[in-house]
Amino acid sequence: MILLDLEHKAIARLQESAKLSEFYYQKPLLLAYSGGKDSEVCLELCRRAGVPFEVIHNLTTADAPETVYHVRKVFRRLELEGVKWEILHPRYKGQPTSMWTLIPQKCLPPIRSQRWCCQILKEGRGKNRCVVLGVRSAESQNRSDTGVAELYGRTRANRQVFDFDNGDERIISPCQRKATIKIHPIVDWRDRDVWQFLQDAKVDINPCYSMGFRRVGCVGCPMAGKSRYTEFRQWPKFENLYRKAFARMVEERKARGKPCQWKNADDVFRWWMEDKNLDGQMDLWGGEIGGGT
């Protein structure tokens, strides 16, 4: 499909979702903006669709400084455009938290098979809303069966996928219950469509991409695999933060009488960077997600 058709289709999806959101939730669409390329496309499409929308960004506390500055810049523009936005600080068990306090608390660093971090650090106020996400099926095998519209499920297996483009009426029932509906307007876009769109639209993108990074997520995200070495060369303070958190984690494991294969932070760091990981990440809305975009 040519890019213009993809754009029209995505805009039509947003316009239909905005009607659902207004009718059933009495609220505008809520765009979850990460600062990555896919959410950048969704933001521009929301503008072009002419629909009312609000934007949230979840601070993970492990974002690259360039991402934090970029998000602030984008949100200053949203302010001028009169779009309501919010930057959400993470909380855990009712308290403010961060990646660095969570690692000892969880007694485990984030690893591919246990990405507890996304659920906590990326959890925003998307409950009981129509949430727009820049998820694409071409991103990974895990996402290949992503639908345009999905109903929250505790696991990927028990989510409900709707044939949104063909007027699937089953979506009405969760909307009436005001359950969280995830809308993926660019689910069928390939990487090259995303880049072409951003270039044509002259969108100012996150500078991390021009620094050579292919994805934007937390620095040190286990999903980044070996490119974490490059990340830590670029942002060495983050390696120090992880190492300090690992040292506290080892002490915590010992204090709790948990088995501990590591003697110190160096041991944990080496094990963690080996990246012998598995897939299966959950996002707060119950879908599998990558560590960044």
Q: How far is the CB of 220 from ligand SF4 (least distance, A)?
A: 7
CA-wise closest residue to 213 among 229, 196, 227, 195:
227
State the nearest-atom distance from the C-beta of 190 to ligand SF4, in Å.
Answer: 22
- Is 223 one of the binding residues for ligand SF4 (CB under 6 A)? yes
Does residue 109 interact with ligand SF4 by CB under 6 A?
Answer: no
CB 108 within 8 A of CB 249: yes
For residue 118, state whether it binds ligand SF4 (rule: CB under 6 A): yes
Q: Which stretch binds ligand SF4 (CB under 6 A): 117-125, 151-159, 184-192, 199-207?
A: 117-125
Beta partners for 162? Answer: 149
8-state DSSP, 111: B
Q: Is residue 286 near ligand SF4 by the rule CB under 6 A?
A: no
Binding mask 63-102 for ligand SF4 (x = CB under 6 A): ----------------------------------------
By CB under 6 A, is residue 55 in contact with ligand SF4?
Answer: no
Q: How many CA atoms lie within 13 A of 96 on its CB side?
A: 4
Contact between 221 and ligand SF4 per CB under 6 A: yes
**CA proximity to 267, closest of 114, 105, 116, 109:** 109
* Contact criterion met (CB below 8 Å) for 293 and 284: no
What's the alpha-carbon Rg for the chain, to the nearest Å?
A: 19
By beta-carbon proximity to ligand SF4, the closer residue of 93 and 263 is: 93
The SS3 of residue 114 is strand
Query: Residue 162 or 242: which CB sits closer to ligand SF4?
Result: 242
Start-to-end CA distance of the chain, whole Å, equals: 22
- Positive or negative, the CA dihedral 112, 117, 123, 128 is positive
Quote the least distance from Cβ 219 to ligand SF4, whole Å. Answer: 8
The residues binding ligand SF4 (CB under 6 A) are: 60, 62, 110, 115, 117-118, 121-122, 217-218, 221, 223, 281, 291-292
